[in-house]
Structure 1
Amino acid sequence: MDSVRRLLVSLFLLWMAGPVWSAMTIEIVGGAANRIVVAIGPFGQAAAGQEDVARVLTDDLSMSGQFSIVNEPSLLVGDASTPAWGRVRRNNVDAVVVGQVTPLPDANVEVRFRLYDAVRARQMVGFSYVVPLRALRGVAHRIAEEVHLALLGSPGAYGGRITYVVKQAGRYALKVSDVDGHNVSSVLESPEPIISPAWSPDGNQIAYVSFEERRPIVYVQTLSDGKRRAVSRFRGSNSAPAWSPDGKRIVVALTRDQSSQLYQVDALGQGEPVRLMRSSSIDTEPVYSQDGRFIFFTSDRGGSPQIYRFELASGETQRITFDGSYNVSPALSRDGRWLAFVHRVEGAFRIAVMELATRQVQVLTETDYDQAPSFAANDRIILYATRVQGRGVLATVSLDGKIKQRLTQEGDLREPAWSP
């Protein structure tokens, strides 16, 4: 099977006020060597214009880089709900997905789904859901998660959201979308830069830095109602927000005492900031460990930019990275096992990952201007920003570096972050 595939998904996005933003293109540039062949039958449509569950499911599994999809009705018999096992085996199919969408009163639908092991001709998993018609895309993502887990034994990353910044026509827009680029909304649009978006632990708020007052200020914005508040508007620079695991505090980098230092502020913007440590160096880019015990951050205290770990209980600081003279932008997996960061290799800035238990480092990417790594909720995919042919794009890479894809559209894409 081809290890390099291109999947162009035209996602005509309805944007809020501002420039007209173009469709997003998702391009697979690397995949698993031995992909699982999955036949997906038609689910049917309950109403004109509704989401095509089979199409969404096909796109999801294709974009993972681990499945090869067959959409061939002749592999099914009857009402397309039963595999034709002879034809399935002759086509070297490993698994079959069948399903049906049935209309119900009050704009609801019933979605039935079954996954079959084609080798053993037996059902592996199945369910039936009753949901509003508008929720069909979400159900399709859920089916993709079920298929991924059943066939690979590990969670997928189809149902989450991402945030990122788009610069186009001299304006900046902080966007939120599904992982596949659908359901896009604007959090903020501004003629001034927007940087460092960070999701709250519950996924309902985003902290970010805005230069709309011609200086960096940290805001927190609630996604459900658009309300926002300034949580760090102190003298000098306010930057690099990072949420505590309980969502009550945010660590920021402030220059109120000249050099950049780390402070903890209240997530509601109340009270005075609390300085976490004292140094004469530049400390920035903090990120909490999931258990709340540590803060990883970037500092030049050793003479070059490196990543350190600060223990809140003891106040002790430990250097984490030693390979090379430039390691910045730490991102932690939710299970605490992996540290992703930007590592300089012969002048190129690439995404690397360290297994914290062994301190072994692997460089995952081959592009030259990578930045802002962020783990998916399943801890197996890293989202980041890079530049391709002079344009800012988003990209993902699997934890082993084998599965890669790019997400592009008109304008420069930057500052991505994956939701919890």
Structure 2
Amino acid sequence: MEDIFARLYDMTAFSNIVADPRFLIMYAIAFILLYLGIKKQYEPLLLVPIAFGVLLANFPGGDMGVIQADENGMVMVNGVMKNVWEMPLHEIAHELGLMNFIYYMLIKTGFLPPIIFMGVGALTDFGPMLRNLRLSIFGAAAQLGIFAVLLVAILMGFTPKEAASLGIIGGADGPTAIFTTIKLAPHLLGPIAIAAYSYMALVPVIIPLVVRIWCTKKELSINMKEQEKKYPSKTEIKNLRVLKILFPIVVTTIVALFVPSAVPLIGMLMFGNLVKEIGSNTSRLFDAASNSIMNAATIFLGISVGATMTTDAFLNWTTIGIVIGGFLAFALSISGGILFVKVFNLFTKKKINPLIGATGLSAVPMASRVANEIALKYDPKNHVLQYCMASNISGVIGSAVAAGVLISFLG
């Protein structure tokens, strides 16, 4: 009888959890992420799949955790080292499990990030940026965190490729971070993807924190509509629809000529936007890109990225360094946008609310919504959402171009 009970106990996950209590830490992390996604509603479309993927990956015996290949693509399969890129997909599914099949087919190949960018493009309206082009420069200034943390990470002992993958978290763009890491440091894909998406979800916490450090009440009370009335723009867009159609075509062409390695992201982003702006003639393509394809891609990306967060992959000093460095990159990117606005205001009569600089991230449209809520706290009539979107949208383009530059130089 004792032997039966012993076997039943060994059959459960309890024996493994008792032997390795680190699983409890991972469960706590998964539950916290689920709480933030469900209760706090911090990017639930991303955080809920990621958190559930973390949970699935850390049930011993479930074989749902992603086994990360090393720098040379080698993984341990039944006690034998194999090159995962030489294994057919059916063998990966049979030997490593369902989650590894999804991960190596859709994520590690770099397939899903551009697909998600296509959906983002289809859901994005470039109108606010085109109407306020001068504000788009703050999206470029907000890329400061990427390059600052890159240098710091190199000094801390990361290789240049690893440092670039860490720094790109400052762009606040999960697909861009994944795409860059796949190209430069694929062995760090798990912790970098988790850090990037977690900080994106925590935008409502991080932006107010950084804003309180740098901005005064007077600066946060700058009313953009009043500034527009005092100093009206001299340029007038006569046909916005035509401009919206031409914009993705022109941007893709320019980026392709100067930074070809950014084309997979920028090209798909602009294609998604183009089918949206053309209208009824491409409505079916727009619907697919923005709904079914985007939703399926988000599910597979989130749950498989979460599954990379196993005890061995996450609970180590390298991952802790990535989490700290990612937060620093994020905070510096927000700070860079704010400080550039403050400098800009020194030389112009038409003042700009620093919150517009704070939204030069790629977290669209959450960053803009958060900034708008902060502005309304200081002045209930100060709606800055449309102005923030100009900087926010340009941040999407800026982070993708920055990723392309890093891949070109270091890839």
Instruction: Indicate whether the TM-score tops 0.5.
Output: no
Work out which structure has the larger RCO, using CA pairs closer than 8 Å and 6 or more positions apart in sequence: 2
Structure whose residues are more often helix by fraction: 2
Structure whose residues are more often strand by fraction: 1
